[in-house]
Structure 1
Amino acid sequence: MKEITIEDKAEKKGTEKIIKELHQIALDFKELETEKEILEITLKAAENLLNFNLCNILFVKEEKFVSAASSSEFEEEKRSISDTSIAAKTYNEKRSFIIDDLQNHPEALSVKSIYKSALSIPIGRYGVFQAAAPDKNFFTENDLELAEILISHFTAALDRVYAQDKITEQKKYLSTVLKAIPEIIILLDKEGNYLNILTSDSDDLVDAKDKLIGKNVKNILPKNIADKYLKYCKMVYQEEKQKSFDYRLNIKGQEKYFDVIFSPVTSKEKKDKIIVSTIRNITELKINENQLKKQKIYFEQLFNNSTEAIVLLDNDFRVLKINKKFELLFGFKESELLNKNLDDFLLPDDFIKKGREYTKKVKNDEKVEAESIRKTKSGGKINVYLQGFPIKLVDGQIGIYALYKDITERKKKEKQIQYLSFHDEMTGLYNRRYFENELNRLNSSRKYPITIVIGDLDELKMVNDTYGHKKGDEYIINAADILKSTARAEDVVSRIGGDEFAVILPTTNQKEAESFCLRIQKNIEKFNQDKDLIKPLSISLGFEVMKEDGHQSLSKVFNKADQKMYINKRRKYNKTSY
């Protein structure tokens, strides 16, 4: 186990302190209202807290990077986010980088020669944060993690401010028909006193209207909510800008959610400003929002942790999202396939036509289930069970949901089972079952004349009894190899018994059959000459030819060939030539 040194403890303690300070900065961000303030605090924290020499915050404006804030002066031209640069790569791939040798990095822009290393972090959809240092290999993974924490708080603050600005822009209005709208309209002064309440429905009020008017919010609402009311009333009064926040309130034993917008209005009668708070019941919206969040979490968990490869596609079969299993199965990262046609990457050349047919069916609102072949990034081919489902909403189909299951091992086992069901395990020749199936099939074929050759090893029992069955098996295997090498590709060579073989020769006449048997015997003789055997390999053969005009069946032809084989075997024992 590695010993933890004093330096390690000090570094860890220092990191923990920085993280705590970063957390405090995140809290400070919540009080900021402008982009400028957020930029200033972020830059200050990067310089003073993280000890970065040079920092630069780039925002994307009209597809170009623009420096929004910098710790020193930059003379930097606007660059497109599509250019080859560290910033572009960071922004487009949405991931951080450490560059140990900035001057020799091919994607680095022209920078001052004093800066030798850098780090680059994406700022959500807004841009890129970059820091540089005068030494190579200056930045560590710890620096990157701390900087990413800071930038995550920075991004969240921007999200909030921009969202707040959007709400403010969208809600710059004062309706003259206040009672006709569903919101509660409450007129307040800068001290938070109720001046008037306008609403057609009092169910969302904590008390009757006449009991509320003239009182202060701090005497009506819970302290945490009242404090915010008072804070925003003063801010709106002074700044003449809209402010808003959400809160939860228990009204008559029921939990309700509200959104309140504070707007400044000048009163002609009093020649002074008043605050109009527009309160909207968003309980149903919150409930639906929470349900959607849960559903999204459930979906993400099911999607990412599925044991099957899943891909989401648009109606043009372009990739929108893939899960981890998909990346593992096919070898592609999501960034490599995003917005690209999936068929261009997964379909092997000999499956393009069929694969396009499947795609067309799913695009036409049909479900597809099939077993097929797909290729991986490395070019390998795998057997898959695929399913394609149209994704439909009320307005129609919006995309495609496709699943892939790797069935390569199952297919291998099926092939193996199929092979074993028709092949002799010892010799690899066809077995008796396959041989008999071929006899039945060829009975109705037109491959006349058809010859059947029967072969039986000589004196195998003596070899087994004298030298053991293992030695006898070697003779069987050797005989099988000779028969197979002598036969043509279309011939059916089978082992139909312990030491008995049968060969079907389609379109083979009497003379050709005799020649085939002679070749076997010559090949056996050559084998015996080349091998130092305890006993020469010997086989007795017999054949019969079924002619086109014959009326006998192949089973009878088989029997006659078998009989001739035994006649030849007896002749051999009687030292009669074949």
Structure 2
Amino acid sequence: MTGKKTNPSNTGLLRALEAEKAYLEMLFEGLQEGIVMVDSQGIIQRVNREFERLFGYSSDEAVGQSIDDLVAPDDLNQEARGITSAVVTGNKQILETKRHGKDGSVLDVSVLASPISVGDSVVGYYGIYRDIADRKEAESDLRRQKAHLEQLFESAQEGIVMVANDGIILNGNGEFLRMFGYELEEITGRNIDDIITSEDSLEEALDITNRVSSGLKVSFETVRTRRDGTKIEVSLLASPIVVDDVQVAFYGIYRDITERKRATERLNRSRRRIESLHGIARNLEKSDSEKKVYDYVISAACMILDFSACSISLIRKDKLVPLFFSTPDLAELQKESFLPGEGLAGRSYLQRKTLVEQHDPSPGQPVREVDNPSYFPLVGSPMGTSGVFTGFGNGSDQIEDEQANLLELLL
């Protein structure tokens, strides 16, 4: 009996093919993505275990079905058929979309569909589905957080600016723009120290930028400059923005403390004025003539109450006669006597109470350039029945209630 001999080279080739097939089989079943093999008509030929798990269909239920009808019904069907049409003509398709599970659930998936070619013909394609629900949920959470932070950023009562490590402005909120008088497009891409810092504080500002850029947190009070050149007193908190242990930028938070500073200065000024008034009272007791008393009152009022000019008019034969002045210029302007009830000083004397008028300069003329004191804020305060004191404010500064009250105390 004779047997047919096997070619050793064919045997080796068959073993190699079997090994490759086994490897591909393990890869097909072992991948974490759902894989489906489809013929050129879109009919499912095979699915792996992950496809079964992802969509809820067994292999027996899926094989022989149209892939587009099985996992993309209703409003998704037209999109799915478009993908099938494209891939069977040789075009690979990659996208993120939604598909339906057996139980009707909607799944977020990424899809890779690639043609299977034999020679020059496309005989089908394989589709790879990856469940991206967790990533989509994370992205949705990130968008919500981003929206919340953006709303907080814009609604904050402090001016906030985000700055790159080299000092270039990335973003600024509405309060920052309002505080310094800019539009966002005017400052984006420009250096923070060039925008809100004057030359006299530039060195300080550059030092702050360098410190916070190197990872330090900085907090202090300083002065910055608005677009129109006016100064603004601010508290500043600058702190690094760190992502994955790497500083990517920093933010600056500015709070306008101008009013707080003014209130503190007013309080300190009030304390100094009251202390000075006690000293004045002691000195008046030592004065030995009427002229010395009135000259001292005028000098003290101008100095302590910050009046630019002062005068005292005394009653003489039913008229108020200006007799004592803080400056010779004022003496030239106030030569004429006047009746009680005439003008602010006359009304103050007649009514026996302190009166204040806040005057403005003529239109278009800066108040500090006006020579005539009648354009300045004005206060009149009676000196019993003997006369009236008249004080002129400093330029555009309004006469405060405190000044008027302290004047009454002095007189």
TM-score, normalised relative to structure 2: 0.61
Deviation at 1:317, TM superposition (A): 1.6
- For residue 237 of structure 1, the aligned residue among 77, 88, 92 is 88
Show CA shifts across 1:177-200 (max 9, x none).
444532212111233211111355
Query: Is the contact between residue 40 and residue 125 of structure 2 (CA under 8 Å) also seen in structure 1?
Result: yes
**CA 1:350–1:211 in 2, change beyond 3 Å: closer, same or farther?**
same
Q: Determine the structure 1 residue equivalent to 2:276.
A: 430
Deviation at 1:359, TM superposition (A): 2.1
- For residue 74 of structure 2, the aligned residue among 210, 214, 223 is 223
- For residue 283 of structure 2, the aligned residue among 454, 457, 469 is 454
Deviation at 1:278, TM superposition (A): 1.3
Q: Determine the structure 2 residue equivalent to 1:379.
A: 229
* Correspondence 1:381-420 to 2 at 5 A: 381-420=231-270
Q: Determine the structure 1 residue equivalent to 2:185.
A: 335
Alignment of 1:246 onto 2:97: yes
Q: Determine the structure 1 residue equivalent to 2:160.
A: 310
Show CA shifts across 1:70-116 (max 9, x none).
xxxxxxxxxxxxxxxxxxxxxxxxxxxxxxxxxxxxxxxxxxxxxxx
Q: Equivalents in 1 of 2:81, 2:56: separation in Å?
A: 17
Q: Equivalents in 2 of 1:459, 1:310: separation in Å?
A: 63
Q: Determine the structure 1 residue equivalent to 2:204.
A: 354
Q: Determine the structure 2 residue equivalent to 1:280.
A: 130
Q: Equivalents in 2 of 1:300, 1:352: separation in Å?
A: 30
Show CA shifts across 1:433-465 (max 9, x none).
xx69xxxxxxxxxxxxxxxx93338799xx9xx
Query: Is the contact between residue 236 and residue 243 of structure 1 (CA under 8 Å) also seen in structure 2?
Result: no
Query: Is the contact between residue 161 and residue 169 of structure 2 (CA under 8 Å) also seen in structure 1?
Result: yes
User: How many equivalent pairs are there?
Assistant: 295
**CA 1:220–1:480 in 2, change beyond 3 Å: closer, same or farther?**
same
Over the aligned positions, Cα root-mean-square deviation in angstroms equals 4.1
**CA 1:454–1:249 in 2, change beyond 3 Å: closer, same or farther?**
same
- For residue 265 of structure 1, the aligned residue among 116, 141, 165 is 116
**CA 1:326–1:299 in 2, change beyond 3 Å: closer, same or farther?**
same
**CA 1:478–1:204 in 2, change beyond 3 Å: closer, same or farther?**
farther
Query: Is the contact between residue 298 and residue 325 of structure 2 (CA under 8 Å) also seen in structure 1?
Result: no
Q: Determine the structure 2 residue equivalent to 1:369.
A: 219
Query: Is the contact between residue 40 and residue 88 of structure 2 (CA under 8 Å) also seen in structure 1?
Result: yes
- For residue 41 of structure 2, the aligned residue among 186, 191, 195 is 191
Larger RCO (CA under 8 A, 6+ residues apart): 2
Deviation at 1:288, TM superposition (A): 0.9
**CA 1:373–1:523 in 2, change beyond 3 Å: closer, same or farther?**
closer
Query: Is the contact between residue 163 and residue 250 of structure 2 (CA under 8 Å) also seen in structure 1?
Result: yes
Show CA shifts across 1:496-545 (max 9, x none).
xxxxxxxxxxxxxxxxxxxxxxxxxx999x999987699699xxxxxxxx
Q: Equivalents in 2 of 1:418, 1:360: separation in Å?
A: 35
Query: Is the contact between residue 183 and residue 279 of structure 1 (CA under 8 Å) also seen in structure 2?
Result: yes
Aligned to 1:258, what secondary structure does the other structure show? strand
Query: Is the contact between residue 114 and residue 125 of structure 2 (CA under 8 Å) also seen in structure 1?
Result: yes
Deviation at 1:379, TM superposition (A): 0.7
TM-score, normalised relative to structure 1: 0.45
Aligned to 2:47, what secondary structure does the other structure show? strand
Gaps of 5+ in 2: 1-22, 306-323, 339-384, 389-411
